[in-house]
């Protein structure tokens, strides 16, 4: 029977795909194609792909639906570079309590809601940086979205982050407690390699490692793995076509990751000119997570705009300026989940506030993220044959980045999820 079905489907594919083709013609005021801004452009979508982008110099296929987006800028669907769909803001429930006191079912239910609000905010892809105690549930969430059970962004997932034994949380400074942890603990190189193999088998698209954590003698960030351990991780992941990305806030944690050849460094708060020079040499990108840094301080009582900026924010402004000056590749990723899902644009606004040009922030959020994460053939640009992940906003976000919040149109994979008439 199996053979007969296979035979039928391979010789008569129309038996399974009898639906008619769909065409959309999108007519905005301007198009940001992932790299530059154009006027006088239209975009034609055929099923789930971009069929044409540029000046209108062809005959419209019959049955094309024309969508006028007057006053709007059309962009590639935005790519969130650092999300945690399984977390919600820590001023609602602390991270410790989310990991210890919320059931996996509750966390998944929340993640479903987060996925929907992310997509409607114009973020058609997320690189999710770990479930923080919810095991491999990101893979299940991604599958449910792909099957159309729920609506949400495309997901690039890493399952559980990997940490050195004892170098993560929750912790309550009680030597008698052995609590469930928010990531996978490993004690040596063999365990690290073993964990990577397990995560790959469970569906990880990339691997996240905490290269440092607050395990210094005085609670400061200190390296958690050796260069050799990180090198072994990179070699193993690479041989299966996957990236290693690291959490690192200390200069030494970053330096070890750079030497090992990781793909991206998350946070990088204490990056120096020298560190950024090394990143530039090796082509390693920085995902700065400015929004999370500010959110932590605000949860600890900082009244932004009223109180002076706390030392960590002042320091981050300085290191981010050095990063821009060094010419390294900068991703857009806010660590959303620490703050509200759907408010992803907060990171883009802060990148401008901290010194980047709006057009560069738009690039980071589209073509740069797609290139760095290894998805340039599918997403991140308005270009023929790429997937039809397209959004539109009122006004011009390259002139005023806050316009990126004025979403009037969201299409993912050729399907419209939001259309403001
Ligand atoms: Zn994170």
Report how far residue 245's alpha carbon sits from residue 227's, in angstroms, rounded to the nearest whole number: 14
Mean pLDDT for the stretch of residues 154-166? 98
Measure 159 CA to ligand 1 centroid, in angstroms: 12
pTM, to two decimals = 0.95
pLDDT at 110 over 80: yes
Q: Where are the alpha helices (DSSP H) in 80-223?
A: 95-101, 104-120, 137-146, 189-202
Please, are residues 309 and 293 in contact by the beta-carbon 8 Å criterion? no
Within 10 angstroms of residue 303's Cβ, the number of other Cβ atoms is 8
pLDDT per residue over 370-397, tens digit each? 999 999 999 999 999 999 999 999 999 9
Measure 83 CA to ligand 1 centroid, in angstroms: 7
List, in sequence order, every residue forming a beta bridge with 44; answer none if it has no partner: 25, 52
Burial of 99 (0-12, 13-18, 19+ CB in 10 A): buried
Mean pLDDT for the stretch of residues 12-25? 67
Q: Report which secondary-structure segment, H or E, holds 155.
A: strand 154-157
Measure 179 CA to ligand 1 centroid, in angstroms: 20
Report how far residue 9's alpha carbon sits from residue 353's, in angstroms, rounded to the nearest whole number: 55
pLDDT per residue over 185-194, tens digit each? 999 999 999 9
Report how far residue 367's alpha carbon sits from residue 376's, in angstroms, rounded to the nearest whole number: 7
| pLDDT for residue 20 | 85
Query: At 48, is the pLDDT very low, low, confident or very high (cuts 50, 70, 90)?
Result: very high
List, in sequence order, every residue forming a beta bridge with 266; answer none if it has no partner: 247, 287
Which of 7, 59, 37, 56 lies closest to 393 in space, CA to CA? 37
| pLDDT for residue 4 | 45
Measure 398 CA to ligand 1 centroid, in angstroms: 27
Supply the DSSP symbol for 402. G
Mean pLDDT score of the chain: 95
Measure 176 CA to ligand 1 centroid, in angstroms: 28
pLDDT per residue over 345-362, tens digit each? 999 999 999 999 999 999
Measure 247 CA to ligand 1 centroid, in angstroms: 8
Measure 324 CA to ligand 1 centroid, in angstroms: 21
Report how far residue 138's alpha carbon sits from residue 131's, in angstroms, rounded to the nearest whole number: 6
Measure 65 CA to ligand 1 centroid, in angstroms: 41
Query: At 19, is the pLDDT very low, low, confident or very high (cuts 50, 70, 90)?
Result: low
Measure 352 CA to ligand 1 centroid, in angstroms: 21
Mean pLDDT for the stretch of residues 34-48? 98
Low-confidence winner among 46-60, 73-87, 198-212, 218-232 (lowest mean pLDDT): 46-60
Measure 288 CA to ligand 1 centroid, in angstroms: 11
């Amino acid at each position: 029977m199996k053979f007969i079905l296979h035979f039928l489907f391979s010789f008569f594919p129309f038996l399974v795909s009898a639906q008619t083709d769909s065409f959309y013609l999108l007519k905005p005021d301007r198009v940001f194609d992932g790299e530059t801004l154009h006027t006088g452009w239209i975009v034609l979508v055929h099923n789930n792909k971009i069929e044409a982008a540029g000046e209108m110099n062809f005959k419209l296929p019959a049955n094309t639906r024309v969508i006028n987006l007057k006053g709007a800028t059309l962009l590639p669907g935005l790519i969130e570079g650092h999300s945690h769909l399984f977390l919600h803001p820590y001023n609602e429930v602390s991270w410790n309590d989310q990991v210890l006191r919320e059931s996996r079912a509750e966390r998944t239910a929340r993640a479903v809601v987060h996925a929907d609000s992310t997509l409607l905010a114009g973020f058609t892809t997320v690189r999710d940086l770990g479930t923080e105690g919810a095991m491999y549930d990101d893979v299940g969430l991604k599958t449910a979205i792909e099957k159309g059970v729920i609506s949400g962004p495309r997901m690039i997932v890493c399952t559980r982050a990997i940490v050195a034994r004892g170098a993560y949380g929750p912790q309550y400074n009680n030597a008698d407690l052995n609590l469930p942890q928010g990531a996978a603990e490993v004690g040596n190189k063999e365990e690290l390699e073993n964990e990577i193999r397990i995560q790959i088998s469970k569906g990880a698209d990339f691997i996240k490692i905490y290269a440092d954590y607050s395990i210094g003698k005085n609670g400061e960030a200190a390296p958690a793995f050796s260069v050799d351990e990180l090198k072994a991780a990179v070699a193993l992941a690479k041989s299966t076509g996957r990236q290693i990305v690291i959490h690192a806030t200390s200069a030494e944690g970053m330096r070890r990751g750079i030497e090992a050849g990781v793909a991206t460094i998350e946070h990088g708060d204490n990056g120096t000119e020298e560190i950024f020079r090394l990143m530039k040499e090796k082509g390693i990108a920085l995902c700065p997570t400015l929004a999370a840094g500010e959110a932590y301080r605000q949860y600890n009582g900082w009244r932004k705009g009223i109180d002076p900026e706390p030392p960590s924010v002042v320091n981050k402004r300085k290191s981010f300026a050095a990063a821009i000056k060094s010419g390294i590749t900068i991703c857009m990723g806010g660590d959303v989940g620490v703050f509200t899902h759907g408010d992803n644009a907060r990171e883009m606004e802060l990148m401008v506030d901290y010194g980047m040009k709006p057009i560069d922030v738009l690039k980071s959020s589209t073509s740069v993220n797609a290139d760095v994460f290894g998805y340039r053939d599918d997403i991140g640009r308005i270009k023929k044959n790429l997937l039809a992940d397209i959004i539109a906003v009122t006004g011009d976000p390259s002139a005023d980045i806050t316009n990126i919040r004025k979403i009037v149109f969201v299409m993912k994979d050729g399907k419209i999820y939001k259309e403001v008439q």
